[in-house]
Amino acid sequence: MVPPWKKHPEIPLGSIGWRMGYGEDYWISFDDWFERKSEAHKQTYAAQHPEPTGWEGFWLRKGVAV
């Protein structure tokens, strides 16, 4: 899976678009997928997908320090 900002770049972090409709569906799927990964995989994945402007703190909220 790709991070939410790559799947739906038209929806900014904090938008209601992540809490309803297709954005919410993807957010839930991403969360479920990401939570099943090992800590090492989460670190690697986060390093490969840096947070863009406006998404600062996303990985930290997921428990990953990058």
- Read off the pLDDT of residues 2-16 as tens digits, 9 standing for 90 and up: 999 999 999 999 999
Counting as low any pLDDT under 50, the low residues of the chain are none
pLDDT for res 66: 84
Residues 41 and 35: beta-carbon distance below 8 Å: no
Q: Within 10 Å of residue 66's Cβ, how many Cβ atoms?
A: 14
pLDDT for res 45: 98
Q: What angle do CA 27, 21, 34 make, to 5 degrees?
A: 10
- Report the predicted TM-score, pTM, of the whole model to 2 decimal places: 0.93
Helix (H, G, I), strand (E, B) or coil at 33: helix
The terminus-to-terminus CA distance of the chain in angstroms comes to 19
